[in-house]
Every structure is written in C-alpha cells, then in structure tokens.
Amino acid sequence: MRTNDGGHRDAAVAALAAREYERAGDEYTRAARRVLAEPRPDQSPFDPDEKGRVGAGVAFLVTAAVAYRVADRPERATHRAVEGVAVARDLEHALDRPVQRACLGEFVADCRVAGDLDGAADAYESAADAYREAAEGIDDPQYWATTPLFEAAAAPLQQVARGTANGEIAVSWSDLHGGDPSDPGPFLAHRARFKRGRFPSLIEQVVETGYLAAPRGTTEYDTDHHRCPACGSTDVNWAGDDVLCLRCSAVAEEQ
C-alpha cells in the first residue's frame, strides 16, 4: 500500500511528463510533507515502525532536489536537500533499529548528492560502516532490503538512472546489494558504495540533458492502444494518473 501523499506524487509525475520540473519539485515537496506528517492513516511519523514507511517522505525530498536542479533552481535544491538531511537524522529517534539507522544515513548521503552539498562521499562511507556495525543483529538482510524504508531509499537513484537508459531499468535490486546475503554487513553496505560511485554522475547527466524521467510503474511493450506523440514509441508506462511513454515520459495518446 502506498503512503499517504495526498495525490501530490501523481501530480509530480504529471509535471515530469510535461517537463515542468520546478512544478515537479514543488509537488514532490508537498508529497514529502504529507507523508512526513502522517505516513499512513492514524500512523505517526514518530512511532517505531519496522517497515519504515515514513522513509518515502525523505525519498520525495531527494527527488524534489533533483527536479529543482534540472529546472535550474539550485537554491531550491539546496533547501530541499538540507531539509532532507535534517529529517533523516531526526527519524533516527523513531526508526531505532541499527539497520534502519544505517539506511537513514544512506538517505543523508543521497540528500547531499541530490542538492550538490559537500560531504556526500563521507556520508556514504559512514552509512556503509553503520551497515557493517549492524550486521550482528541482522538475521535476514534480504527482508530489510525489501521493506518500504529501503525501497524508498533506492527509488530516487532508480528513477534518475532510467532517464539515462531509454526508460529501462538501469539500476536493479541486485546491482544495489552484495552477492552474499549470508554476510549481512557487506551485503547491505554495498548499497552505499554503489551509490557513491553512481548517483553523482547520474544526476550530473540528467541536469546536463535537462530531462528527469518519471518513475517506472507497470509497463507494456509494443502496444496497439497507445502511441507517444513526441517520439512515436508504443511502449507505455503506468506511473501516475496518465499513461506515459516508457521511453521519454511524455503522455501517450490513445489509438
């Protein structure tokens, strides 16, 4: 079940489809603040939550920062990134499992990269260290890696990456994690090391090209019911309220 974003996430996707990136940043910001106020009905963001659903709010702040940079509004990207760092650190009081705190440290690094702030590399190293230190208390790292908190922490990177890969999945779950789940520390620490090596350059590419893709939802290839008016593709992506082109994120036209 999705978090309580008040419909602003879908509004952000619509803005991406229209290539109105400042508006997308605004809508992602509104989505973040709704989730951070109440992740799900009757759930406080300050309550312990093994699933860590409130993490979606931080992920929206990361994506908002990227959208503002694509829109050439670097000062707003900075504000959103600073906000995200503060929120991630504060959430350590609620998400109190060591492995969750390590993931929040990963979010801190993501915010620094997204907002072009100093200290991202050191923040990723700190997150990797925290994963290794938490390893003794982790029985099943694959379980934690598939909780909403960890999936939220992967989402901005995956969204940014698909814009450089013709809409395809450019960063998979297996890319993010180590090869041996029986060794929890390195398995999860690989997330931070991978991001340190890839996320900055991917953001630089989308800023340079001026294009941030919509997130990937349900997809269908070579359809006979929709065609993209911008690039002619018949591959589609259901990511928000509209049917989008899988390739360029424009709104596809029904045939």
- Same-domain check for residues 225 and 209: no
For residue 3, tell me if it sits in a domain.
no
- Same-domain check for residues 110 and 21: yes
Of 213, 203, 254, the residue nearest 74 (C-alpha): 203
- Same-domain check for residues 229 and 165: no
Last-in-domain residue among 182, 197, 213? 213
Question: Based on the structure, what is the number of domains in the chain?
Answer: 2
- Same-domain check for residues 197 and 232: no
Q: Residue 113: its pLDDT value, please?
A: 98
* Full residue range of the structural domain in which residue 70 is found: 8-213
Residue-wise pLDDT tens for the chain (255 aa)? 478 999 999 999 999 999 999 999 999 999 999 999 999 998 999 999 999 999 999 999 999 999 999 999 999 999 999 999 999 999 999 998 999 999 999 999 999 999 999 999 999 999 999 999 999 999 999 999 999 999 999 999 999 999 999 999 999 999 999 999 999 999 999 999 999 999 999 999 999 999 999 999 999 999 999 999 999 999 999 998 999 999 999 999 999
- Same-domain check for residues 126 and 14: yes
- Same-domain check for residues 64 and 167: yes
Q: How far apart are CA 129 and CA 132, in angstroms?
A: 5
Q: Residue 242: its pLDDT value, please?
A: 93
For residue 2, tell me if it sits in a domain.
no
Q: How far apart are CA 35 and CA 50, in angstroms?
A: 16
- Same-domain check for residues 130 and 238: no
For residue 1, tell me if it sits in a domain.
no
Q: Residue 135: its pLDDT value, please?
A: 94
- Same-domain check for residues 183 and 68: yes
The pTM is what? 0.97
Q: Residue 3: its pLDDT value, please?
A: 87
- Same-domain check for residues 119 and 239: no
- Same-domain check for residues 22 and 108: yes
- Same-domain check for residues 111 and 205: yes
Residue 157, token pair as written in the block: 């990177």
CA 200 to chain centroid, in Å, comes to: 14
Rounded to the nearest 5 degrees, what angle is found at the Cα of 52, between the Cα atoms of 50 and 53? 130
Cβ atoms 69, 77 nearer than 8 A: yes
- Same-domain check for residues 190 and 251: no
Q: Residue 25: its pLDDT value, please?
A: 98
* Phi, psi (degrees; rounded to nearest 5) at 218: -80, 135
Residue 20 CB neighbour total at 10 angstroms: 16
